[in-house]
Chain A
Amino acid sequence: MAVNWADRVSAFSRSPSRFLSGTTAEAFLAELLRELRDDRASDSVKVLLVSPLCEHPTLLCPSDSEGEETALELMSVFAQCPAKSVQLRCHLLLALASVLVCSSCVSVRSPASRDFLDLLLQVSQDTGDLHGDGALLSLRATACDCLRELEACSPGLLSQHLELFGGLRQRESSRFHQAYAGLHSLVLRNAVYQLTQETGAGAEQLKALLGGNTSVAWEADQDSGPTNNTDSTVLSSLILGPMGTVPSLQTGPDCKELRSILSSLLEESYLLTPLCQAALLHRLTEVVAMVPGVPPAIFRAQLLRLLGTSKVCLLHTTLLMKCAFTDSLFSAEDEAFIVKRLVALSQHPLLTDPEKLFYMDCILHFPENRPIGCGDGDETLPVLLTPRLAAALLPTVFNDSATMLARLNLLSLVYLEEGEEGEGGEGRGLAYLYEHLMSLLRIVESGGSRETVVAFFRASFLFLWHFYHMECYTSSLVEKLCELYLRHSQLAPHLIGLADHTQDRLCESNWAEGLLKALQRVITDVPLAQLTSQDLRSHLKTLARVAEEGKIAQRSTLHFLSSIIAPSSSLCVSGDWRLGNSVLAVCRRLLVHPSLDSLLVPLADILQHLACRYGDTDVQDHARLYYALLTTLSQEKLAGVLAQGATEGGRQVKKRSLSSIVADSEGLTSMLTIHQTERAIFSVVEMNPELRRDTQADKESDLNQSEAGECPDEASAALEAYRSQFDDPDFASEITLSYQLAHAQDPDPRFDQLFSIRLHFSLTDDHYEALSDISVPCLFRERPPPAVQLRLKPRRPHPTTLRASAIFTTQDGLSWHTVLPAIRVAFQQAFMPLPAPPAWRRGGKLNLFEGLWDELCSESGECAASLFCCQLKEAALIGLVEKHFLPYLISDWSRKEEFKVLFFLPPQSHVLLKIRSEEDAVHFDVATDNWQLLSHISSYLLTITSSQEDTHS
């Protein structure tokens, strides 16, 4: 089936990402290349196939090697193309240039790019079709364009061929000499630039360069690989106004060769199209700027022609020349002439609007011969632009909005300057501009189009921006805007926007506040009976904005709110959800208003009224929430909760969620919901052993002090006394594990300071009783980690894993839920020292140990005895006991021949060890009253003994 390539290619270029989601770049490229090689495909289809390679070479050939391969393929297609397929061959050249440049094969001078360069040079010199139909001419022109683009992307690439291009340009008499001129001038510009970068280069090097006999060393350097073009300054225009610096090549006054090339190019510049002429002149301007030996006067013969031109690009070049050469080419009269010319062109009836806008922009960035400012890109007026001259650009209501605004801006600058100089006719210009603004306002008032409305508010902003200090105008503007608003309340968003922006941009001015205050006044003064629902909606929007102003008293707003929801009005009954939310939006801002104290009662009344009477449940709920917040939280906390959401993301950006359109736009949802973190923010880690031992020692002493009693002499008595303690079910039923909270490794500054952390644990099995939550006041990254004690109440003292999660608050007031890494409770963490009555001395404990031992070894049922052996030297054994068993040691530490160790495991399990060194091995005799623990004991012993062996071996 034939593929419809037109559709496929257009689908690709419309949205490459969507297209490639259905296939891969590789596959598509392969398809394109296969079809290109297919003889049956027509030229027009093949031209189409080439276009993706021209437009998106980096998508199709993402790597250098793919670019290289594709280029080789394309070159073979090119070679097999019949000579008459000129269009296709031209497009193939363009595709080759695109692929090789963009895959940076050209900049590394890859083999394919060298081949391509050779091909281009060959085509560009092929003058063999003098008697043909001229078709080859356009191929040559395209080849020249490709060469020019390669040189533009890799400056200096073609420097060695400078002389060749000069010769080709001079010999060509068909209209395609333009292509050579473009190529020649660019290569010249880049070659001269390169010379300026070489230390010690001068007249001689320049001469050699132009004569084509570049020194061998330089050529070798060229061939050795990529030139250093990581620096993009060579790509950039050298004419950048007073701040730009132009590298220069010191040649002395004698550079005949360069001059003759420049003259010849300039002489023929007339024969080029205006676009190419402009580009050529720009290149030559750069060259002359770099070579002080050539006087800028070389351009003089062209100037009149260029100054009189109707083409924007040619006049622009002249301005750039002026920028580069200032008074060495342009006299003061010239300058005055150009300023006048620009003003005249900025309002010329035969030019297009974009052209006029561009000329106005040129006036504001005029390249003066003696610039006063630093030319940092700010808009400044040329000194020669007098108010009289500028009067030609006064804005009128007939201008399109862009022109009107550009003129208003320019004239504002003019009158601002005039005002500063305090001339006689001061203020008339300003009065005109204000009158113009009022004319616009009248049009808006009589129902101007959306565009007019927007233009009016932009003009107002510009006027304020320049003249915010002119009290008489700005206060009158407030008045007029209020009148306008009363008649056209749908302009609320524009007015709010104007207030926002003047407030943001004009910090010294309190105009915005004045406007909002005045709006509040006119809104609250209007008789309610006249309000339409559109008005009401706008008024509420405006009042909500007014309520954001801390300095504006809000009594009248409250009064307005209470009157619109009064039982006499239909609003509450209608239960309009939108209006209700608009009312709530005002209330919400009032809740954080600095004068809340004085508003408390009426505001609470309004909220309560809404909560009880409003005909929409959602609005009621929100009102109730606000009421609750207002009546229960301190003002400070309220502000903390509510202000946060409002400032987050600024006024413009509003998050949306389907479930709560309004609340979210008010920023409440984020404050009142708990967010889920993406990763664990911190973890509960075991406290390091040093610290733990301390706390355990404390615990022991606590335990010791808590109860008192005699020390029995006999084993059985000891056992009995001991056992009696367990009559209390809570006795020694808990183990306390010490942990600390530690921040996760990857730092997210949002979570550096956490507050009110509530840890929640859940069990993964039924060996333990459920844990209660733990609160930690705060966790700061830079402070010592807080300790957490986990009280576990085992049902069976088996190792376990606890799941943990936490809810906490961050500094910005948001609440978060995070899942912590699971906590493993190892078997040995359940060990406790013998909970013997505190008064007992070692003897009593020993008695108890013996009694228990005998009992466990004789009884059956749950009890069990076992033996564990391992190879340990005596020192190692002592080390082991000291390290792991010391808190549980019952026998005297000085008696090294046999250690007696007792682990108590809540609720009532015991593991007893007798450890002795025999001749061949160390014997651990184990006795326990819970045989199920044996496997854990043995793996525990295995772990600790093997690690002890390691450390001692």
Chain B
Amino acid sequence: MSVRALWIISHEKGENVSIRFSRRFSTVEHRAKCLAGPSHVAVPEESTVLQLLLTELGLSDSDKSYVALRDDCLHRQRSPALELHVDGPGKGILWPVLAISQGPLILACLCLVDAPPEPRPPLANLLSVSQGLTLLAGLQNFLLGSGNKPDSEALASRLATLPSVLLQVCPLGTPLDVPLLGPPATPTVPTPAGNQKQPAWKTGLHRGRAVVNVALKETVRSMQYGSQSRQDLWDVYGTVTCKCEVEGVLPNVTVTLTLPPNGSPLQDILVHPCVTSLDSSILTASSVDNSDGSAFSGPYKFPFSPPLEPFRLCSYTSQVPVPPILGSYELREEENQLRVSVNLKLHESVKNSFEFCEAHLPFFNRDQMGAVDVKVSSGQLDVSKENNLLVWTLGQKFPKSREVTLEGRITFSGPTPGPTDPLCTELTAYIKLYFKVPDITLSGCCVDQHSVQVYSSAKSRIVTSRELQSKEYFIWNSTGTAPVSSGQMML
């Protein structure tokens, strides 16, 4: 359950690649050698690892369209663990190498295989794999922060702190923790007298007024085809994020989620490890198995002892009967122009008060837009001819009728070709909706301020909030072929 080596690589879309940090854990390597015996493959030097890793990730030789080592169809890219084929004197296969990549960073580690090397054990038998994944994700989070693209200076300064961070979280190759965001933890105040042990995931103690902040955020995704043969799809998932400032070594807080009387049960509930106990009924509902109609539907109690930093207390998915906005999109080619017709309908159960609501209509694989003669019944339309994009800003409210339309004609006669997308050819086109509605959830799930219990001596202030936002909300042109086959939508 240890890692043999760790690498952090930065790149710009496969260019300017460099290893920014690396660490080998010699004692783990020593164990690896004992465990694997003669089949042991030593970790090669940085440059070799880099080359092999890039090849395996499909990032090497970006100027060549086909490189057998990289593009071979036998390649087992479907596993989370890569194989690095080391050539030369230390010939052999380094496995399992985990790599996660986000933005400009690739983080990789080589896990210890604490099992007989032959036959190769399944990944599921190696605890080091899930440990490695957790460590890498933690480091990624630490380096990139919540935003995906930190400036290079911030990244460099965080990289510079890695040696001392690793001393805390992974001194000898066995991951102990993931680094905390923000500045390195200040030395903790020693625990006052008492027998209660301080949790290892709590770096210090809060002093002062108790404040508990619970934010519930739901995200809705949708694929609407407007076709008889193809079922429209949508799903909702929610997260409950907490920030608790409560005194005590191990204070108790309980957050309760409730559903309206006819609400469909929350599914696939995942909880933060600080949750102390769970009722089995909370976990039963699953999105992949709808047979259980008589499922438990709340209230969902989550007793926990909070860490100091904000954390995601739990997440769930939910199946709501209707999408918040139902749309239809029709395109027709008419001689040299495209007839566009859009209709969007806000469902009556959704509060008509948006933080923002926009519909984007991109047109791919065509010449640049020429004349755009499009009318909207509400909101305003921006035309971005360079990007072949119509942005329809609906603002804060739908009209009373809760229905808006867009009609018109577009010619594509510009001098240069517009943007391309292999997915959206000819009449295969979509509208993508971006919206956020404060203070509602689609599932009806809510956290009542009074249901939050804090077992502490001081009176506490409790703040709750909720909101709904869209993500990957597509409405496909019903006159073209949508690029998805039948079946459930899983983005």
Contacts and interface: CB of A to CB of B under 8 A. Distances in A.
Interface of A: 13-17, 47, 51, 54-58, 87, 90-91, 94, 97-98, 101-102, 130-131, 133-135, 137-138, 142, 145-146, 148-149, 152-153, 172-179, 182, 232-233, 235-237, 239-241, 268, 270-279, 282, 304-305, 307-317, 319-320, 323, 337, 340-341, 343-345, 347-350, 352-355, 357-358, 360-362, 364-367, 376-377, 388-389, 391-394, 396-399, 401-403, 405-406, 408-409, 432, 435-436, 439, 442-444, 446-455, 457-458, 460-461, 490, 493-494, 497-498, 501, 505, 652
Interface stretch (B145-153, B271-279, B405-413, B449-457): B271-279
B294 interface: no
Contacts of B188: 134, 137, 174-175
Contacts of B317: 344, 348-349
Interface in B1-41: 1-2, 19, 22-27, 29-31, 34-35, 37
Contact of A409 (B78, B196, B488): B78
Contact of A237 (B25, B114, B134): B114
Contacts of B195: 173
A391 B488 CA distance: 7
Interface SS majority for chain B: loop
B3 to A, nearest CB: 11
B251 interface: no
A807 to B, nearest CB: 33
25 contacts: A13-B22, A14-B46, A90-B171, A97-B27, A153-B30, A174-B188, A175-B203, A179-B176, A236-B35, A241-B122, A273-B178, A310-B314, A310-B315, A311-B134, A316-B127, A352-B137, A354-B136, A357-B78, A360-B78, A388-B289, A398-B491, A442-B425, A442-B483, A448-B422, A455-B77
Contacts of B382: none
A54 B65 contact: no
Contact of A311 (B136, B268, B273, B280): B273
B73 A275 contact: no
B378 interface: no
B73 A457 contact: yes
A312 B268 contact: no
A620 B468 CA distance: 73
B270 A308 contact: yes
Contacts of A494: 66, 71, 73
Contacts of B68: 493, 497, 652
B108 to A, nearest CB: 11
A409 B167 CA distance: 40
Contacts of B277: 304-305
A478 to B, nearest CB: 15
A358 B124 CA distance: 8
B308 to A, nearest CB: 12
A152 B135 CA distance: 20
A377 B113 CA distance: 14
Interface string B194-230: 1111111111000000000000000101000000000
Contact of A349 (B22, B71, B219): B219
B122 A275 contact: no
A555 B65 CA distance: 31
Nearest to A170: B197
Contacts of A87: 164, 167
A175 B200 contact: yes
A376 B483 CA distance: 39
Contacts of B79: 357, 361, 402, 406
A320 to B, nearest CB: 6
B22 to A, nearest CB: 7
Contacts of A447: 420, 422
A447 B423 CA distance: 9
Contacts of A268: 197
A756 B190 CA distance: 88
A174 B23 contact: no
Contacts of B272: 310
A376 B119 CA distance: 8
Given A98-B26, A275-B134, A501-B73, A397 B486 contact: no
A392 B73 contact: no
Contact of B187 (A135, A152, A340, A406): A135
B282 interface: yes
Contact of A241 (B31, B125, B312): B125
Contacts of B26: 54-58, 98, 101-102
A239 B122 CA distance: 12
Interface in B175-195: 175-178, 187-191, 194-195
B401 interface: no
A54 B167 CA distance: 12
Contact of A347 (B22, B45, B279, B490): B490
Nearest to A652: B68
A97 B172 contact: yes
Contacts of A347: 288, 490
Given A270-B199, A304-B283, A457-B73, 7 more contacts: A235-B35, A305-B273, A313-B133, A320-B127, A392-B288, A393-B490, A398-B491
B27 A153 contact: yes
Nearest to A438: B485
Contacts of B237: 349-350
A146 B25 CA distance: 12
Given A439-B485, A494-B66, A173 B197 contact: yes
A519 to B, nearest CB: 16
A268 B250 CA distance: 12
Instruction: Among A137, A145, A353, A389, find the residue whose CB has the most chain B CB atoms closer than 10 A.
Output: A145
B270 A350 contact: yes
Interface in B114-128: 114-116, 119-127
Interface in B255-299: 267-273, 275-280, 282-284, 286-289
Contacts of A145: 171-172, 174, 176
A316 B111 CA distance: 15
B467 to A, nearest CB: 16
Contact of A275 (B126, B178, B221): B178
B119 A148 contact: no
A277 B114 CA distance: 18
